[in-house]
Amino acid sequence: MEDVLVLIVGAGPAGLATAACLSQLSIPYVIVERENCSAPLWRKHMYDRLKLHLAKEFCELPHMSYPLDTPTYIPKSTFIKYLDDYIECFQIQPRYLTVVESSTYDIDRKYWSVVARDIDNCTIVNYMAKFLVVASGENSAKNIPAVPGLENFTGVSIHSSSYKSGITYSGRNVLVVGSGNSGMEIAYDLASHGANTSIVIRSPVHVMTKEIIRLGMTLVRRLPMKMVDGLVVMMANFKFGDLSRYGIMRPKKGPFALKSENGRSAVIDVGTIDLIKKGNIKVQGEITKIKGKTIEFQVGNEGSFDAIVFATGYKSTANMWLKNGDDLLNTEGLPKKEFPDHWKGETMLYCAGFARRGLAGIAMDAKNIANDIKHNIESMSG
């Protein structure tokens, strides 16, 4: 049994940011990570051509700016370099290959009892922590929807977290399922590598440019959200025209309203729309059935496909190991309380990186959590 003051679960950007904020306040902590490196989502599970979708001023972690010559839209490799520098600067030493399997709060003795498995040597590690920070991410497990016949699909089926580049799909018939940022960009990547590409777009989506979003994010700090939503939708309509005849509907609510209500991001176009308009990427409705290589869609279309890429998002898994945390997280492992009160539970329990607000939200959470822990330590000793 190891006695620690603060235990951070997860060494992605949120765990690292919390670690940095704690060390700035000279508060000791231990940070554990199930994989063999920090930020594995970025190092192992993102496609090659990815750049941060938001401008760099919205993507900084606390206490460290990007070098001045960093491009506005940061490539994946530059972001990973920034994380490496961050880890070095704050001397963060995650304990890798350590999976937290359960956390129970001991009400009488007022500490978290945490059981972790060391996957390297198959041993159990027990921690006793005064404070517990859940930083295991909104993207902890792949989400693949139930599709009738998928188990009998005779082509290759992968999740977007395993997709690297379209280079291996040249000349193949490929279907992308999901029309968020990943799905739209992967479709573009496939088509530009010569794959015969189709994309399933099931629900309405706001298509924007990165410049329009950057302008909106800047304006929304000062102007009413409704006004900004009206403005960016007008600009996007001017830029893209009416996309409904291509099967892309615009939601009734504005992009910033949707983002703040349910965390759904607008799609930032990387060139996909142009390929859809040219017919290089075909838009399909929902899948109704899969048989062999044949996939049937709503409205009676069907096609033969060699591969399916599910860009259908991720889910949290914190609910599977966090016991007595129901004041903080719901049964889906997401915060119960709304932003900006989402990060703090009752029993010295916190979550970082669950506000559906990307890296900017992570930076806010990390600072709030470290300051609150400091405050609690002071009032315990005073």
Ligand X SMILES: Cc1cc2nc3c(=O)[nH]c(=O)nc-3n(C[C@H](O)[C@H](O)[C@H](O)COP(=O)(O)OP(=O)(O)OC[C@H]3O[C@@H](n4cnc5c(N)ncnc54)[C@H](O)[C@@H]3O)c2cc1C
Strand extents, DSSP E, the chain = 2-9, 29-32, 98-106, 111-118, 123-134, 141-142, 156-159, 173-177, 196-200, 207-208, 267-268, 281-284, 287-291, 294-297, 302-304, 307-310, 314-315, 349-351
Residue 180 near ligand NAG by CB under 6 A: no
Q: Is the CB of 182 or the CB of 272 nearer to ligand X?
A: 182
Q: What is the rounded distance in angstroms from the CA atom of residue 242 to the CA atom of residue 323?
A: 49
Q: For residues 59 and 307, which CB has a smaller minimum distance to ligand X in the complex?
A: 59
* Segment 31 to 70, residues that bind ligand NAG, using CB under 6 A: 36-37
Q: Is 365 in the site for ligand X (CB under 6 A)?
A: no
Residue 183 touches which of ligand X, ligand NAG, none (Cβ within 5-8 Å per kind)? none
Nearest to 123 by CA among 261, 2, 281: 2
- How distant, in Å, are the alpha carbons of 180, 307, 357, 369, 373 from that of 376? 40, 53, 26, 10, 5
Is 262 in a helix, a strand, or coil? helix
Give the whole-angstrom CA distance, residue 97 versus residue 100.
10
Return d(Cα 61, Cα 20) in angstroms, integer.
9
Q: Does 40 bind ligand X (CB under 6 A)?
A: yes
For ligand NAG, the closer of residues 52 and 147 by Cβ is 147
Size of the site for ligand X (CB under 6 A): 33
182 binds ligand X per the rule CB under 6 A: yes
Contact 362, 18 (CB under 8 A): no
100 interacts with, out of ligand X, ligand NAG, none, CB within 5 to 8 A per kind: ligand X
Asked if 198 touches ligand NAG (CB under 6 A), the answer is yes
Q: Tell whether omega for the bond before 340 is within 30 degrees of 0, i.e. cis.
A: yes
As a whole number of angstroms, the distance between CA 98 and CA 95 comes to 6
* Residue 209 binds: one of ligand X, ligand NAG, none (C-beta under 5 to 8 A by kind): none
CB of 88 to ligand X, least distance (A): 18
Segment near ligand X (CB under 6 A); pick from 22-30, 37-45, 124-132, 221-229: 37-45
Distance in angstroms (rounded) separating the CA atoms of residues 285 and 201? 6
Burial class from Cβ neighbours inside 10 Å (0-12, 13-18, 19+) for residue 320 reads: middle
335 is an interface residue for ligand X by CB under 6 A = no
> Is 39 a binder of ligand X (CB under 6 A)?
yes
Q: Is 46 in the site for ligand X (CB under 6 A)?
A: yes
Q: Which helix (H) or strand (E) covers residue 155, if one does?
A: none
Q: Which residue is nearest to ligand X (CB)?
A: 12
What are 281's two structure tokens?
């990427």
**One residue of 82, 96, 321, 343 binding ligand X per CB under 6 A:** 321
In the bound state with ligand X, the residue whose beta carbon lies nearer, of 14 and 176, is: 14
Q: Which does 10 bind (CB under 5 to 8 A by kind): ligand X, ligand NAG, none?
A: ligand X
Among 87, 100, 307, 351, binds ligand X (CB under 6 A): 100
Shortest Cβ distance from residue 295 to ligand NAG (Å)? Answer: 8
Binding mask 112-151 for ligand X (x = CB under 6 A): -----------------------xxx-xx-----------
Conformation bin of residue 46: beta by default, left when phi > 0, alpha when psi is -120 to 50: beta
Nearer to ligand X, 308 or 366 (CB): 366
282 binds, among ligand X, ligand NAG, none (CB under 5 to 8 A by kind): ligand NAG
Amino acid identity of residue 146, one-letter, is A
3-state class of 14 per DSSP? helix
Q: How far apart are CA 189 and CA 309, in angstroms?
A: 12
Where do contacts with ligand NAG occur on this chain (CB under 6 A)? Answer: 36-37, 118, 120-121, 123, 148-149, 151-152, 173, 196, 198, 282, 303
Where do contacts with ligand X occur on this chain (CB under 6 A)? Answer: 9-15, 32-35, 39-41, 46, 52-54, 59, 99-100, 135-137, 139-140, 182, 317, 321, 353, 358-359, 362
